[in-house]
Amino acid sequence: QVHLVESGGGLVQAGESLRLSCAVSGIIFSIYTMGWYRQAPGKQRELVATITSTYTTNYADSVKGRFTISRDNAKNTVYLQMNSLKPEDTAVYYCNAVLYDRQYWGQGIQVTVSS
């Protein structure tokens, strides 16, 4: 079975930082493209950042310069360092793993940024 388990969410004030982690099991982690997505209330799920197996990264314009995605293949874990958080970053954040037509999601974790 494949499991993606997010941790590190919570409530912070604007300007503060959080680091999300996603621990993965059941797949060959190192060959998957890993990503973070988010969904705010009443909105569609959107891409936040991705990192490929060769460590190429991609970010949504709204988080460029503030968020950093990274991966540790030895720990089967992907991270999202979120700095200078804004109230509009409030959402449920989901971890994602993709390899060709295979895709897996975590259960999601709440991040709330107060103004």
pLDDT in tens, 54-106: 999 999 999 999 999 999 999 999 999 999 999 999 999 999 999 999 999 99
Report pLDDT for 27.
Answer: 96
- What is each CA distance from 18 to 32, 52, 81, 82, 110, in whole angstroms? 24, 22, 6, 5, 12
pLDDT tens-digit profile of 4-40?
Answer: 999 999 999 999 999 999 999 999 999 999 999 999 9
pLDDT recorded at residue 36: 98
How far is 110 from 93, CA to CA, in rounded Å?
A: 6
Q: Which whole-number Å values give the CA distances from 84 to 14, 25, 35, 62, 107, in the listed order? A: 7, 31, 20, 12, 25
